[in-house]
């Protein structure tokens, strides 16, 4: 099947048969979906991570209570050491939760912000004129 007369010469030159290939109906919306999915993915990831951090903090607090009881009953130094490490891990998880909030806020601000000032300079002239202008400006700076 020949495409159009415009491409017949090219087809003959390259000795190929031309076929009309139908475009997928959802190829264009797919690109749009990827962009909107990127925004949705950030929100989903945020909510998932936030939920996991809350769960880890709660379980860590329960574990701290249990290990502190065990440490008090056994009076073993190792039990107190483990309790201290567990407390540190729970504190780190709460810090990560706060960092997550800050990162989400930064991402949202970056989306809302665009370039505030755009300075484009364009010189229309020959290279000789440009060189003359640059020499003149440098001479003015030296004179000041």
Q: Say what the pLDDT of residue 8 is.
A: 78
**63 within a domain of the structure (yes/no):** yes
The residue range of the domain holding 90 is 38-105
**123 within a domain of the structure (yes/no):** no
CATH number, domain at 79?
A: 1.10.287
Q: Say what the pLDDT of residue 117 is.
A: 72
Please state the rounded mean pLDDT for residues 74-100: 92
Q: What is the pLDDT of residues 100-111, one digit of tens each?
A: 989 888 877 776
Cβ–Cβ < 8 Å for 61, 94: no
Residue 4 has pLDDT above 60, yes or no: no
Q: How confident is the model at residue 61 (pLDDT cuts 50, 70, 90)?
A: very high
Can you tell me the distance from the alpha carbon of 137 to that of 144, in angstroms, rounded to the nearest whole number? Answer: 11
**26 within a domain of the structure (yes/no):** no
62 or 118, greater pLDDT? 62
In the chain, the number of structural domains is: 1
**118 within a domain of the structure (yes/no):** no
CB atoms within 10 A of CB 60: 18
96 or 111, greater pLDDT? 96
**116 within a domain of the structure (yes/no):** no
**96 within a domain of the structure (yes/no):** yes
Q: What is the pLDDT of residues 22-60, one digit of tens each?
A: 666 555 555 555 555 666 778 888 889 999 999 999 999
Q: Say what the pLDDT of residue 88 is.
A: 94
């Amino acid at each position: 099947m020949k495409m159009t007369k415009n491409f017949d010469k090219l087809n003959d030159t390259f000795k190929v048969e031309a076929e009309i290939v139908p475009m997928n109906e959802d190829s264009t919306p797919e690109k749009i979906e990827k962009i909107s999915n990127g925004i949705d993915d950030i929100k989903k990831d945020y909510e998932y991570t936030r939920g996991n951090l809350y769960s880890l903090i709660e379980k860590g607090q329960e574990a701290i209570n249990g290990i502190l009881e065990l440490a008090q009953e056994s009076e073993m130094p190792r039990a107190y050491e483990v309790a201290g490490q567990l407390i540190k891990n729970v504190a780190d998880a709460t810090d990560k939760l706060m960092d997550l909030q800050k990162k989400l806020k930064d991402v949202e601000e970056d989306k809302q912000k665009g370039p505030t000032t755009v300075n484009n300079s364009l010189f229309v002239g020959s290279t000789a004129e440009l060189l003359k202008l640059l020499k003149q400006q440098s001479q003015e700076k030296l004179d000041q």
